[in-house]
Amino acid sequence: MRVYDLIWKKRQGQALTADEIRYLIDGYVRGDIPDYQMSAWCMAVFFQGMNFEEATALTLAMVESGDTVDLSSIPGIKVDKHSTGGVGDKTSLVVLPLVAACGVPVAKMSGRGLGHTGGTLDKLESIPGFSVTLSREQFLKQAAEIGIVLAGQTANLVPADKKLYALRDLTATIESIPLIAGSIVSKKLASGADAVVLDVKYGDGAFMKNIEDARRLAETMVEIGNRAGRRFRALLTSMEQPLGYAVGNSLEVVEAVETLKGNGPSDLTEISLKLAGLMVAMAGLADDPETGETMVRQALSNGNALTKFTQWVAAQGGNPKIVRDYSLFAQARVVRPVTAEDEGWVERIDCRELGLIAMGLGAGRNRLEDRIHPEVGVRFFPKIGTYLKPGDVVAEIHARSEADAAIAKKRLKTCIHLAAQPVRPEPLIKEMI
Ligand code: URA
C-alpha cells in the first residue's frame, strides 16, 4: 500500500477499506507516516466525508492504537455519558450521582476543558483535595465499593486521537463529522462502558452551530457505537444560552450541589433528569427512559443522589464538607454585579462569548498547559424570553482583580440582545436518537 494512493482515493471521493484505514492510523501512530501526508488525508476526508463502514473502521483502528479499560470486574451494565461540550455544562456532576444512587455503576474517564467550554476534571478539581489521578486498581476498587468513580484519561488511551487531534487543530480539519465522531467514540469504546448516552449540543455555545450538523454527528456516533457492539443513544440539546447560571469551575460545582439538593436551575435539572433516566433505562434497571426518569427523580427528592455525591467526593480525597459549607471553596477576590441598561425581552445571548469571558477571567484554558483559577467565572442570570428593565442584575463577575472584572463587565454588556416583543424560547431538549 502507498499512502499517496490512499490520499488520492479519498480525494476522488472513493471509500477506503478497513485495512487501508488501519494502515494509515497504525503508520501515523508509529511515526512512519509524516504529518504532511496525514494532513492531506484529513483534508480529503473533510471534503469527501466517510461512509459508516469507513467511520467505524477509523474508530476501531483508533481504539486499537492504545490501552483499553476492562470494566468486567464491576457487576452490572456500565453506562457512560458524553457531552460534546457547552457553556456552563456541569450535567455530569449531577447525572453521575443520580444514576449511581439508582444502582447504575459509574466508572468514567473524562477530559480537560479547552477553549470556551469547561471540562469535568477541572470542575471536580476545584473541590479542595479532590484528585482525578487514580491508579487502575484504585479506579476499579472505588467503582466496586461505592458505585461511582471519575478519573482523567490514562496517558495511553487512544494515542491515535491525541496525535490526530493536534494535527487537525493546526490544519483546519477539526470540523469534519467522521473525524469528530471517530475521536469521541474511540475514547468512549476504549473506556470500557457497555452503553453510552451522548448529549450532542447545538447552538452558539456549542461545537456544532446548527441542529442539522448536530443531528448528523449524533447519528454517526450512534451508528459507529452500535456497529462496534455497544449500545449508544443520543439527545440533541440546545446550547443557545448557558446551562444553569454558573460558568466557571467552583461556581459550577456549587450549582451542581444545589441541583442535587433540589434547588437547581430548571434547565439544568430538566436535562440532568432526562439524561439520567435514559442511562438508568440503558442499564436495564428501568423498562423505558420515562420509568428511569421517575427513579432518578426519586433519588433526587429523597437525598440519595446528594449522599452519593458526598461519598464520591470523600472517596477521591475531596473535603465532603463543601456540600454544606460553600465557603470552603477558594473565593474570588473581586465579586461585581452587572446591571441591565435597557428594557426589553431577551431574544438572543452570545453564549460562546460568555464562555470566552469566563475563560479570560482564568476559568478555562487556551492551551492544555495553561493554569486554571478555580474560583473565577460568571453567574449569568437572564434566559431567553426574560423581561429586563434598567437596573436589573444580569450577572455577577468573580474575578482575580478589579481590572479583570472591568474587562469582563464591558464584554458582558454586549452579550445580551433585547427585543421589543415577548420572545418564546426553543425547547432545551430537541430530539432523541
Ligand atoms: N471533541 C473530541 O473529543 N474530538 C473532536 O474531534 C472534537 C471534539
Ligand 1 centroid to 173 CA: how many Å? Answer: 11
List 80, 89, 161, 194, catalytic entry: 161
Active site residue 417: no
Indicate the range of 144-158, 235-249, 292-306 predicted with least confidence. 144-158
- Ligand 1, atom 7: closest residue by C-alpha: 180
Mean pLDDT value of segment 57-67: 96
Quick one: 394 exposed, middle or buried, by C-beta within 10 A (0-12, 13-18, 19+)? buried
User: pTM of the predicted model, to two decimals?
Assistant: 0.91
Q: Is 127 helix (H, G, I), strand (E, B) or coil?
A: coil
How, if at all, do strands 377-380 and 246-247 pair?
antiparallel
CA separation for the pair 30, 122 (Å, rounded): 31
Active site residue 321: no
CA separation for the pair 140, 192 (Å, rounded): 12
DSSP 8-class letter at 284: T
Residue 33 sits at φ, ψ, to 5 deg, of -100, 125
Sign of the C-alpha dihedral computed for residues 357, 360, 361 and 364 taken in this order: positive
Q: With contact defined as beta carbons under 8 Å apart, do 118 and 89 qualify?
A: yes
Residue 95: the pLDDT is 97
CA separation for the pair 205, 142 (Å, rounded): 34
For 278-325, write each residue's pLDDT tens digit.
Answer: 999 999 999 999 999 999 999 999 999 999 999 999 999 999 999 999
Q: Which residues contact 32 (CB under 8 A, 6 or more apart)?
A: none
Which residue of 42, 59, 81, 161 sits with most ligand 1 atoms within 8 Å of its CB, as the best mutation to test the pocket? 161
pLDDT band with cut points at 50, 70 and 90 for residue 409:
very high
Active site residue 227: no
Q: How many residues does the chain have?
A: 433
How high does pLDDT run on average in the chain?
94
CA separation for the pair 249, 363 (Å, rounded): 6
Atom of ligand 1 nearest to the CA of 184: 3
CA terminus-to-terminus distance, the chain: 38
Q: With contact defined as beta carbons under 8 Å apart, do 252 and 122 qualify?
A: no
Percent above pLDDT 70 for the chain: 99
DSSP 8-class letter at 340: -
Atom of ligand 1 nearest to the CA of 111: 3
Ligand 1 centroid to 283 CA: how many Å? Answer: 25
Residue 175: the pLDDT is 86
Only one residue has cell 432518578, namely 296
Which residue of 46, 62, 82, 180 sits with most ligand 1 atoms within 8 Å of its CB, as the best mutation to test the pocket? 180
Residue 40 sits at φ, ψ, to 5 deg, of -65, -40
Which residue of 62, 165, 176 sits with most ligand 1 atoms within 8 Å of its CB, as the best mutation to test the pocket? 165
Q: With contact defined as beta carbons under 8 Å apart, do 146 and 312 qualify?
A: yes
Active site residue 110: no
Ligand 1 centroid to 396 CA: how many Å? Answer: 31
Ligand 1 pocket by Cβ (under 6 Å): 165, 174, 179-180, 183-184, 207
Neighbours of 213 (CB within 10 A): 17
Active site residue 112: no
- Ligand 1, atom 2: closest residue by C-alpha: 184
pLDDT at residue 240 tops 80: yes
Residue 114: the pLDDT is 67
Ligand 1 centroid to 174 CA: how many Å? Answer: 8
Domains of the chain: 3-49 (1.20.970.10), 79-323 (3.40.1030.10), 331-419 (3.90.1170.30)
Q: Which residues contact 207 (CB under 8 A, 6 or more apart)?
A: 84, 85, 117, 180, 201
Q: Is 305 helix (H, G, I), strand (E, B) or coil?
A: helix
Residue 323 sits at φ, ψ, to 5 deg, of -65, -30
pLDDT at residue 42 tops 70: yes
The angle at the Cα of 85, spanning 79 to 87, to the nearest 5 degrees, equals 130
For 25-36, write each residue's pLDDT tens digit.
Answer: 999 999 999 999
The type of residue at 14 is: Q
List 168, 215, 233, 398, catalytic entry: 168
Ligand 1 centroid to 179 CA: how many Å? Answer: 8
pLDDT at residue 115 tops 80: no
Mean pLDDT value of segment 179-198: 94
pLDDT at residue 370 tops 90: no
Ligand 1 centroid to 183 CA: how many Å? Answer: 6
- Grid cell locating 292: 428511569
The type of residue at 261 is: K
List 183, 238, 250, 272, catalytic entry: 183
Q: Is 347 helix (H, G, I), strand (E, B) or coil?
A: strand
Ligand 1 centroid to 181 CA: how many Å? Answer: 7
